[in-house]
Structure 1
Amino acid sequence: MKKKIIYLCSCLAILFSACSDEFLTNSPIMGSTEEGYYQSDEQMFNALMAVYNAIQIDNALAHYVPFGEIRSDNAKTGGGNANDQADMQRLEDFTNTDVNYVSAGLWSRSYTGIYRANLLINAEYDSELARLYKAEAKVLRAWFHFDLLRTYGPCFISLETNYPDNFEFIRDTRENVNKQIEKDLLEAIPLLVTKHPDEMVGRLTQASGQAILAKTYMYWADWDNDNKSIFDKAIPLLQEVMKAHYTLSNDYASLFAPQAENNNESIFEIQRSTQSGNYQLGNHWVMFCGPRNLGDHPDVLAGWGLWVPQMNLYDYFLEEDAVRRSTALLTYDDLVTKPNEEGHDVSWETGAYNPEDFEGLEQGKYVNWNQSVYTVVGNLIRNRPGNERLIRYGEIYLLLAECHLRGSTRDEAEAKRLIDDLRVAHVGGGDASKCMSVDELMTAYPDRFPNPLEVLWYERRCELAGEGDRWYDLVRTGRAAQVMGALYPDAWDDKDYYIPISQVETGASGGSLTTYPDEPVPTPPVY
């Protein structure tokens, strides 16, 4: 007798189709059994949409972006008081236990996606289109395993939909998880298309797969004693992405403006729809993170004031870096003073926030836009706008620069060129005279930037601020203990490089799954 993987016993009661507004309109899979499905290209496509749907799943703050910011030094939980979203508050300050809805939600989303991907990948039906759909599913399965690995540490590798009754679900080794991610992506990339038609925008492409594999190699190299040969493996993949159709924008703010989803820097985005009605395929957590008690703003809807950036992030930006700072961070002047100077009557009761967390800032990349900017059909809370930008073209420049600084064939000049090119576009707006080069930064701020690697860390934090990458960057490079331990010296422990597998899951496994992994923590890279 067989049993389905324990984490996912009910995940396929209904398979929803999902992705961008254009291909979110497919009918959900309803009233069909797993055994009788997967008999046509149409059914295979609908099954693929169910895999894409899993990446959209969020439960309040149990999502890549707010979690990756709040767990780091960029932001805190906020809300109305210290008990508002208490589980995220505990993950923020490293007092969490293994009973935590955020930790449980991040875990279940990934295994839901893996389960749905396995159903499609293991289906016997074959055609040219089916092979493409299976390739996309393999990329998504790789992403889910990657996210589990960087969040919980070495995890169980799931490739099947049914397991024997006496099967033990245990953590595999980090190397084996990485090898499985690599295998899925290497098999999928040649079968993927270079670009989808407009009505299919948002689906994965060859460049998406290459970027995800390159990012996997970065984490793999860091946790394998700064393995230079693994950094080297990422270089040709990143170079191929740079040959694709993407371009750097000279207007950084426009990358996160209203209606700017799937722009010229978009490589991998979670697709959202404000038009899905009862299917609720919009961005749930954006409503949680809107400005608390904001009134009568012409463009922005109030929310519940969760995920509040900290002044240490605001102060981290150099003076010349005003565009990236103002894009990531909104001030009282941005939300109230400026619109009122234009004739509006905006109010913002900032005293309604948790005073221990709120420092006068709101995040600006995932704004809770109101109906004047996006038309929402159906549930106003669940169908909020805003695709999450998981990998952007700008990051490709930084990943490749890092490989040139940390790989076996060191090329500092090329690394500097890549960083300079990104800074000219995103800091200088296309004008090199409006921003300092890497060499100029090291000359002007010798204590802050003693070498190009420190410039790179600055660039990663500022370029990706508010996008959920900060916590994972600190973890993979071994700097989390230094940075977060200084903020929470009485709470930080090396186990906190990861979050715990929830008690529900470890209990359901009969104790075969351990709450935390047993492996050494990474050491900071040496330049």
Structure 2
Amino acid sequence: MKKTKLYLGFITILASAVFVACGDDFVEVDPINENSEDFFNSEEDYQEALVGAYDLLQATYLNVMVGEIASDNTLAGGESATDTPGIQQIDNMTHTPVNQQLRDIWGWMFAGVNRANYILEFQDKTDFSGKDQVIAQARFLRAYFYFELVKWFGDVPLAVDQRLLFGDQFNIERTPKAEVYAQIEQDLIFAAETLPATQAQQGRITSGAARALLGKAYLYQDKFTEAADALDQVIAGPYDLVDDYSIIFEQEGENSIESVFEVQYTDKEGAGFGCLQCSEGNVAVGFNGIRNYSGPLFDSGFSFNVPVQAAYDAFEPGDSRRDIAILNIEEFAAANGATYNEGFEHTGFYNRKYIARKGDANLGDANLTNPNNYRSIRFADVLLMAAEAHNRKANPNDGLAQQYLNRVRRRAFGDTDHDITASGAALTDFIYAERRLELVGEGHRFFDLVRTGRAAQNIDGFTSNKNEVFPIPAIEIELAGNRWEQNQGYTN
């Protein structure tokens, strides 16, 4: 789906009456735009709407970046303590219901839900060969956006096969997250059973992507047996680890055999701060970039999301992943004659996986249009989720859990000398540690800590029974007539 752009503004415009010279005559003006109720008359209409639903995946750059900053892996950074206050507050765990970034995540994810539901609302209007493939992709996308919403906010309004339209906010309630997860499971099971294992077009959803996300949703609910079953099917193929970890996050590593699901970005269209979610590029890459950088390999950025010393030091000697995942800018600059400026909360490190590279077109604002795809679900992540599920299920299979864990470690170290042989709770801890090392910088750490009950002991400022979820944006509660209860510990 890379380099594909479609703006979908399906707005119903009523014919207007223009009165002339105070008389009874008037002119009826036909609508300029398509009426949303009259759409979906051909396969092309469904495919165009589906691309529009895919498009909101690109807005998840914010979920990834802010999710990483909320963890113990990175600090907010930026130019100063007042640079993008909402991000600084989340880093400090002082965020409130009035937070622009949280409002964006809420709004953009529900926009994705609405676009998927628009297709599903009219799924029976027109028949054509292969329509089930469109429906399955739409249901995956709805599940993907709802999974993000549940992770961030807990109970959220659930709409199934119908759009949330203006006025609905006065009637719809927040749905318990267990019910939202049940719908996520149904959507992903349908997608897994309907979609092919491979797609001709890069970026299209596959059965493996659906099963991997299903396994992840089960894991987040502590349904370990179900998670293990779903993830084992993904491990059976056609995915594998790439041999060379260093290429995964380079352009040549995009859509590789290790990529189970990847959000596609491009640098072929410009963007601006007035509509960050409109960018076809990965906005987080520019935000993560080296401040005022001049030198080889990389481009400049805004120095947000800077890794901390503890994350760098967590890697064992001989682990090849450390210098691929985290850039030690001081050592790199000294060795390569590069220059840069230190930003706020400078740690000496940058998220090397997702910082700007030289050679990109970067039309418009170069910091907003980087083409780096987001590896949303990697095969290494699947192996580690499966290892955890097998280790933590009612009847553990620690042998298989060790096997999956050690596949990841053998690539990291290039030998079997670092294999883990522990079992039980000790193995669980090794799996948790490995997830941090393998996935650092990819936006998973905060949610891993929360779902495993380890956030309070690892994240400075984290308050139990509050910070497990983020506050519902105050404006959303106000628009709903102040009927919704705010998440525990937050006040509007």
TM-score by length of 1: 0.83
Describe the SS at the equivalent of 1:432. coil
Q: How far apart are the structure 2 equivalents of 1:27 and 1:500? A: 30
Q: CA RMSD in A?
A: 2.1
Does the 8 Å contact 1:114/1:141 carry over to 2? yes
CA distance in 2, matches of 1:385, 1:396: 25
- Give, in whole Å, the separation in 1 of the partners of 2:356 and 2:152: 27
- SS of the counterpart of 2:321? helix
Partner residue of 2:445 out of 461, 464, 470: 470
Aligned to 1:32: 34
With over 3 angstroms needed to count, the CA separation of the structure-2 counterparts of 1:54 and 1:166, relative to structure 1, is closer
2:332 to 317, 332, 335: 335
Aligned to 1:273: 266
Provide the rounded CA distance (Å) in 2 between the counterparts of 1:375 and 1:166.
42
Q: Distance in 2 between matches of 1:232 and 1:72?
A: 28
| 1:26-425 alignment, distance < 5 Å | 31-57=33-59, 63-123=62-122, 124-159=125-160, 160-162=162-164, 167-197=170-200, 200-221=201-222, 230-277=223-270, 280-295=279-294, 297-321=295-319, 323-333=320-330, 335-340=332-337, 346-350=338-342, 353-354=343-344, 357-370=345-358, 372=359, 374-425=360-411
Give the aligned partner of residue 516 of structure 1: 487
- Code of the residue aligned with 1:514 in structure 2: it is E
Secondary structure (helix, strand or coil) at the match of 2:145 reads helix
Unaligned runs of 5+ residues in structure 2 are 11-32, 272-277
Could you list the runs of 5+ residues in structure 1 that have no partner in the other structure?
Answer: 1-18, 222-229, 341-345, 444-448, 519-527
Equivalent residues of 2:262, 2:377 under 8 A apart: yes
Q: Output one character per residue of 1:87-135: Cα deviation in whole Å (capped at 9) or x when no partner.
A: 1111111111110011101111110000000000121223233221111
**Equivalent position amino acid for 1:332 in 2:** I
Please tell me whether residue 428 in structure 1 is matched to residue 426 in structure 2.
Answer: no
| 1:265-307 Cα deviation digits (max 9, x unpaired) | 1011111011134673111121122111212x12211111111
Paired residues in the alignment total 457
Q: CA deviation at 1:165?
A: 5.4
Q: Quick one: structure 1 residues 145 and 72, their matched pair in 2 at CA, closer, same or farther if it must change by over 3 Å?
A: same
CA distance in 1, matches of 2:432, 2:163: 41
Aligned AA (1:67): V
Q: Which residue of 2 aligns with 1:503?
A: 474
Distance 1:166 1:102, change over 3 A: closer
- Going from structure 1 to structure 2, the CA distance change for 1:165 and 1:43 (only over 3 Å counts) comes to closer
Report if the CA contact (8 A) 2:218-2:227 is conserved: yes
Secondary structure of the residue aligned to 1:99 is: coil
Aligned mates of 1:102, 1:364 — CA distance in 2: 23
Q: Provide, for residues 46-104 of structure 1, a one-character-per-residue CA deviation record: whole Å limited to 9, x for no partner.
A: 1000001111126xxx7122112100000011012111111111111111111001110
Distance 1:500 1:29 in 2: 29
Measured at CA, do residues 195 and 212 of structure 1 come closer, stay the same or move farther in structure 2, by a change above 3 Å?
Answer: same
The answer as to whether partners of 2:291 and 2:301 remain within 8 angstroms in 1 is yes
C-alpha change, 1:117 and 1:219, in structure 2 (3 Å) is: same
**What secondary structure, in the 3-state scheme, does the structure 2 residue paired with 1:269 have?**
strand
User: How far apart are residue 417 of structure 1 and its match?
Assistant: 1.3
Deviation readout 1:404-454 (Å, 9 max, x if unpaired): 1111221111111111121112x123x324xx1112xx69xxxxx971111
What is the deviation of 1:174?
A: 2.2
Matched, 1:483 2:483: no
1:422 and 1:286, CA in 2 relative to 1: closer, same or farther beyond 3 A? Answer: same
Q: Contact 2:5–2:55 (CA<8 Å) still a contact in 1? A: no
Deviations 1:180-199 (A, max 9, x none): 111111222221121111xx
- What CA distance in whole angstroms lies between the structure 2 residues aligned with 1:414 and 1:461? 20
In the superposition, relative to structure 1, how do residues 40 and 262 fare at CA in structure 2: closer, same or farther (>3 Å)?
A: same
Q: In structure 2, do the counterparts of structure 1 residues 481 and 319 end up closer, same or farther at CA, with 3 Å as the change threshold?
A: same
Alpha-carbon distance, 1:27 to partner: 7.9
Distance 1:52 1:300 in 2: 29
Shift of 1:381: 3.2
Say if 1:142 and 1:517 are closer, same or farther in 2 by CA, change over 3 A: farther
- Per-residue CA shift, 1:325-359, capped at 9, x if unaligned? 1111101245312323xxxxx21222xx11xx221
Give the whole-Å Cα distance in 2 for the aligned partners of 1:383 and 1:456. Answer: 35
The answer for the alignment partner of 1:16 in structure 2 is none
SS of equivalent residue, structure 2 residue 377: strand
Asked if 1 retains the 8 angstrom alpha-carbon contact of 2:263 and 2:373, the reply is yes
Does the 8 Å CA contact 1:169/1:512 hold for their aligned counterparts?
no
Question: Following TM superposition, by how much is the alpha carbon of 1:493 offset from its aligned partner in structure 2, in angstroms?
Answer: 4.5
Query: Under a length normalisation based on structure 2, what TM-score does the superposition of the two structures give?
Result: 0.88
> 2: CA distance between counterparts of 1:365 and 1:421?
21
How far is 1:29 from its partner?
A: 6.8
Q: Secondary structure at the match of 1:67?
A: helix
**SS of residue matched to 2:171:** coil
Q: Distance in 1 between matches of 2:328 and 2:235?
A: 35
Judged with a 3 Å threshold, the aligned counterparts in structure 2 of structure 1 residues 66 and 280 are, in CA distance, closer, same or farther, namely: closer
By how many angstroms is 1:168 displaced? 2.5
Shift of 1:386: 0.8
Match of 1:452 in 2: 427
Q: 1:162 and 1:462, CA in 2 relative to 1: closer, same or farther beyond 3 A?
A: closer
Q: Could you tell me which amino acid in structure 2 is paired with residue 497 of structure 1?
A: E
Q: Is the contact made by 1:153 and 1:517 (CA closer than 8 Å) also made in structure 2?
A: no
